[in-house]
Amino acid sequence: MRWSKSLIPTLKEDPADAEAISHRLMVRAGLVRQLAAGIYVYLPLGQRVMDKVNAIIREEINAIGGQEITMPVLHPAELWQQSGRWDAIGDEMFRLKDRYQRDLCLGMTHEEVIAWMAAHEVHSYRDLPQLWYQIQTKERDEARPKSGVLRTREFVMKDSYSLDRDMAGLDAQYEAHRQAYCKIFDRSGLRYIVVESDPGMMGGAGSHEFMAQSPAGEDQVALCGSCGYAANLELALSRPPAPPFPPPSAGLEEVPTPNARTIAEVSALLKIEPALTIKSLVVVGKDGPALALVRGDQQLRERKLERVLGPFRPAHGDEVRDAVGVEAGFVGPVGLRIRIIADECLRTGCYVVGANKPDAHLRGVVPGRDFQAEFADLHEANAGDGCGRCGAPLTIERVIEVGNIFKLGIKYSVPLRAVYLDEQGQERPIVMGSYGIGPARIAAAAIEQNHDKDGIIWPDTIAPLQIHLLVVNAKEPKMATLAEQLYADMNGAGLEVLYDDRDERPGVKFKDADLLGLPLRVTVGSRAVKEGRVEIRRRRTGEEVAVAPGEVVTSAQRLLGRPA
């Protein structure tokens, strides 16, 4: 690839709107351009990275028996109505009508189409198991497209779907995917962790996420260095350290707390730690108002409450007054007649809570004695909390979700009538699994994890090309001739070379080479002409060797770990 004839529009400055490092570097290195919010063009070098990542994915999914297909982006509404997701999914789904006013949507994911296919093409137990996959565009009207290609409204996904007779079959294909995913992320040069996750809108019997560590990530995971527990913060279990509780009270004491509404105000006024208070949150679920309780120093994790209560929202001011008889700030669980769900760590201790009267709180409240509640894990795990499994201290890390695997079970096969006949001629629902990977997130996560102040440092396996051939002065005939020769030699040997043959100042060219971050830079400068030495430099380490022109190919192959 000759730079002078290619579209590689590098930029000196960071784009104004970009925060994530991968976003800045992908734009500056001329890999992508934003067409509109969350909609990107992949330029030639960006496309090459995607091709590399997709090739790795294809090899590993083929190796576990995947059969590649392509399903449409445009879907009839009926399939999504049958699964129930036409109504269950909100604004994230792009919907449209055709000329006959029929409802259609753009595919966010393809469980429905797979179940439709299975309903038509799978008849008997002899047709199972199956593993179908595609590398296809998805459309999602994300609420907050951001961080460049990490969260876009149009993106490519590798999605595979397993079809089995029973849970044992699903377990086997699930495990095969887990291992294939590890190979894919290892080969892509990512640091990642596999965590338990919340099946969310997919539903089903279990799921894991593959998380690449990066401050640009939108997800957080809790990790235990002692027992290896790793879980998305949406469901991570932890045991917060207990505060120094006062001796058990004989009874309740009402204390005046004029204008002290927040936990901070109440604990300051009463001169106690926030952990000795209880936060009472009135919410409205489908069965009406309910009270959620977490310790004063803890945060409620909404997804955790949603798993107990179903969809809910915070109550409005008048709803709080109707349900409790007092305004927010003085609400507490004692004497209330609505459903109360309390965080697990409130099973023990003695607390200050709202008195359900204006300007007053109750001291000495013992859960279980002074009020009854359902207990559930509601609080967000914090760094330093005890691991929910072994008690050792947890750490919290920010991560990018690069892939996930779900045991769907029969959630889609039942409504879409994807069934097979077993040996006895009995009709049974097909047991499904679904497995996603975002190639753009792999590329961006690789940049997040591999860069320096000068630019990208690509892992060899997913670099757009392997070698950056740089001629210091393209107008100097001897240099140009030698560079041309090396370009031909390396191409002939099957190496992937970007040849910077531009008539640009050397400083500009060296800066661009660091920005693009190809694994090896081969420099043809005056030393090459005078001494017959060509420099080969590793982008990652800065190590440099000088070799004779005739040795460039073999040296490069050796450095790239490729036998000649």
Q: Under the rule (CB under 6 A), what is the footprint of ligand ATP?
A: 109, 140, 142, 151-152, 155, 157, 401-404, 436-438, 440-441
CA distance 151 to 52: 20
Give the nearer residue to ligand ATP in terms of CB position, either 56 or 483.
56
- Residue 76: exposed, middle, or buried by beta-carbon count in 10 A (0-12, 13-18, 19+)? middle
Closest CA to 231 of 220, 221, 219: 221
CB contact set of 555 (below 8 Å; sequence gap of 6+):
536, 545, 547
CA distance 511 to 516: 9
CB of 28 to ligand ATP, least distance (A): 20
The DSSP element (H or E) to which 483 belongs, if any, is: helix 477-492
CA distances from 493 to 487, 524, 547 (A): 10, 19, 17
φ/ψ of residue 273, rounded to 5: -70, 145
φ/ψ of residue 55, rounded to 5: -65, -40
CB of 447 to ligand ATP, least distance (A): 14
Give the nearer residue to ligand ATP in terms of CB position, either 141 or 496.
141
Give the nearer residue to ligand ATP in terms of CB position, either 207 or 257.
207
CB of 457 to ligand ATP, least distance (A): 22
The string of DSSP letters for 179-218 reads HHHHHHHHHTT--EEEEE---GGG-SSEEEEEEEE-TT-S
Give the nearer residue to ligand ATP in terms of CB position, either 367 or 436.
436
The string of DSSP letters for 272-311 reads --GGGBEEEEEEEETTEEEEEEEETTS-B-HHHHHHHH-S
CA 461 to chain CA mean position, Å: 21
Give the nearer residue to ligand ATP in terms of CB position, either 31 or 472.
31
Residue nearest to ligand ATP (CB): 438
Give the nearer residue to ligand ATP in terms of CB position, either 195 or 402.
402
φ/ψ of residue 279, rounded to 5: -90, 125
Give the nearer residue to ligand ATP in terms of CB position, either 49 or 402.
402
CB of 164 to ligand ATP, least distance (A): 20
Give the nearer residue to ligand ATP in terms of CB position, either 156 or 346.
156
CB of 421 to ligand ATP, least distance (A): 32
CB contact set of 57 (below 8 Å; sequence gap of 6+):
135, 158, 184, 437, 439
Buried b (16+ CB within 10 A) or exposed e, 217-240: bebbbbbbeeeebbbbbbbbbbbb
CB contact set of 166 (below 8 Å; sequence gap of 6+):
431
Give the nearer residue to ligand ATP in terms of CB position, either 151 or 165.
151
Closest CA to 281 of 308, 257, 313, 235: 313
CB of 62 to ligand ATP, least distance (A): 19
CB of 270 to ligand ATP, least distance (A): 41
CB of 32 to ligand ATP, least distance (A): 12
CA 283 to chain CA mean position, Å: 29
CB of 105 to ligand ATP, least distance (A): 15
CB of 405 to ligand ATP, least distance (A): 9
Give the nearer residue to ligand ATP in terms of CB position, either 139 or 512.
139
**Which stretches within 301-422 are classed as H helix?**
302-309, 317-324
CB of 371 to ligand ATP, least distance (A): 36
Give the nearer residue to ligand ATP in terms of CB position, either 150 or 345.
150
Question: What's at 209, amino acid-wise?
Answer: E
Give the nearer residue to ligand ATP in terms of CB position, either 365 or 444.
444
Closest CA to 443 of 66, 15, 122, 55: 55
CB of 151 to ligand ATP, least distance (A): 4
The DSSP element (H or E) to which 400 belongs, if any, is: strand 394-409
